[in-house]
A and B are shown apart, each in its own frame.
Chain A
Amino acid sequence: MPVLTVTGQMELCLENYRGILEYTDSLVRIQTKTGQIRIIGQRLQVVYYTNDEMKVNGHIKSIEYQN
């Protein structure tokens, strides 16, 4: 099960994911066990990206789940 920790509208920490599907500065698509997560926003930036955790900074507008 993915774990999302959102701080305000600026910061998002994501754990338990499979991998990145797409990454531009307005959209980050992440594959998880249960489905895809879409993060839509502006000036999105992946601060770090490791095997078990990633952090996205930027102006987040919406977080969508697709299963």
Chain B
Amino acid sequence: MLLKIIRYAKGYIRIRITGYSTERFLNACSHRGIILWGLEPKGRAYEMNISIPGFRKLKPIIRKTGTKVSIVERFGLPFFLHKYRKRKMFFAGALLFAALIFLMSRYIWNIDIKGNLTYTDETLLKFLKTREVENGMRVSEVDCARIVKDIRKEYDDIIWVSASIQGTRLIIQVKENEDTIPAMDEASENPDQEKPTDIVADRDCVITRIVPRNGIPMVSEGAEVKTGDVLVSGQVPVMDDAGTVTAYQYHESDADIQGRTVIEYQDEMELGYEEKKYYYDKKTHLPLEKNEYFLKIGRYTLGFGNIRNQYRAWEMYGYEKQLCIAENFYLPISYGKKTARPYESGEIKYTKKELQQRLSRKFQQYCKDLEKKGVEIIENDVKIYTGSQKAEAKGRLTVQMPIGRQAESRLLDIPATEEQDETGE
């Protein structure tokens, strides 16, 4: 293969030898070190390949042996170039190609960021842009050491950065501190000083069950509570022998609380809906459409076709794609397609049965969702009303559901100081 390429690049000639002593010609060639290959007898003549310098040395041999040499065919690059020497644009193209390769390879075409977990590529690229490192900059202007320093300075939890240039790619490898993420979670779970939290009622209800796990229950079963009332306190009093409170232990309160409450339910819907009727082509039975293709280069747009039409109502949809080299080098060139589809709108009314079905299906779904949240429905008196404008499902649900949300406690004063004052008097 390599030999073939070398022969092609150097060029060779296929010649035909005729005459009385053709064998003598061959021997003379080999004696003078002229390489012959692809030797083939053709009747009384021979055909063979010979290199260009070999062919130039043939003259004395031909005279000596009395043979005749004719050229059958020329092969290789030198002949190819000679044949097309008048095609100036071809050579200009080849030259331009080489020049472009040379020029283009002096710019960064792609920035590749590897190893980032919490920072996205976009974040880092945006930051690099502020430091004048971006796609399309000169390779000679890239200062890898400075990029590394800048990234390390800007992001504390990136603990290792490497920047290198491979051809026209700038490769930035980072290593993030993987310990920081869970460490922060732990910090939020266990703050230095534990703060007490209460469970407060998140709606008006009657408590039916209360099982505290942590903290002091402030209400008993059967109590009526209002929104915001403290149900379980996270401040556990510490008493002395006399039964007076000397201090509070702080806890995050935790309890299972069930309460009975009333939920208002209301849902309404329109009596009719708009339906789009598309126009169809009579022959093909496909929806009538108008397409527009466009090509955007910078601020200029080149369009093919037009979506303008005479219909009163039509919907338009389309897409636009930006050309991108590699992963993140976007060129200011985009293309896309717009489609307009005319339609005629008409209002369609639901029947009474349909309205009822739709509303009750929605209500059932609502009930199912409640049950998933652990809500038990005790009673419901939701009814469906159909008016002249809209249909409504309205009513009240009596339910038993989990009550309470966590809230930070207001710290209670320790009454011990007061008592001391009293004794002091």
Contact = CB atoms under 8 A, between A and B. Distances in A.
Contacts of A18: 27
Contacts of A19: 23-24, 26-27, 30-31
Interface in A18-49: 18-25, 45-49
Contacts of B27: 18-20
A50 B30 contact: yes
Contacts of A54: 30
B315 to A, nearest CB: 73
A49 B41 contact: no
Contact of A22 (B23, B31, B40): B23
A51 interface: yes
A45 B40 contact: yes
B29 A49 contact: yes
Contacts of B31: 19, 51
Contact of A47 (B24, B33, B37): B37
A19 B33 CA distance: 13
Interface string B24-47: 101101111101111111000010
A50 B41 contact: no
Contacts of B23: 19-23
- The majority secondary structure among interface residues of chain B is mixed
B36 A50 contact: yes
- Size category of the B interface is 10 to 19
Interface in B292-319: none
A54 B36 CA distance: 9
A25 B41 contact: yes
A13 B311 CA distance: 85
B39 A23 contact: yes
A48 to B, nearest CB: 4
Contact of A49 (B24, B30, B32): B30
Contacts of B37: 46-49
Interface residues of A, number: 16
B54 to A, nearest CB: 11
B41 A24 contact: yes
Contacts of A25: 40-41
B39 A46 contact: yes
Contacts of A50: 30, 33, 35-36
A4 B397 CA distance: 107
Residue of A18, A21, A51 with most chain B CB atoms under a 10 A cut-off: A51
Most buried by A among B29, B32, B37: B37
A24 B23 CA distance: 11
Interface string B198-229: 00000000000000000000000000000000
Interface string B264-298: 00000000000000000000000000000000000
4 cross-chain pairs, A with B, having the tightest CB-CB distances, nearest first: A19-B27, A46-B39, A48-B37, A49-B36
Interface of B: 23-24, 26-27, 29-33, 35-41, 46, 48
20 contacts: A18-B27, A19-B23, A19-B24, A19-B27, A19-B31, A20-B26, A20-B27, A21-B23, A23-B46, A45-B39, A48-B36, A49-B29, A49-B35, A49-B36, A49-B37, A49-B39, A49-B48, A50-B35, A50-B36, A54-B30
Interface of A: 18-25, 45-51, 54
Given A19-B31, A47-B37, 16 more contacts: A20-B23, A21-B23, A23-B39, A45-B40, A46-B37, A46-B39, A47-B39, A48-B37, A48-B39, A49-B36, A49-B48, A50-B30, A50-B36, A51-B32, A51-B33, A54-B30
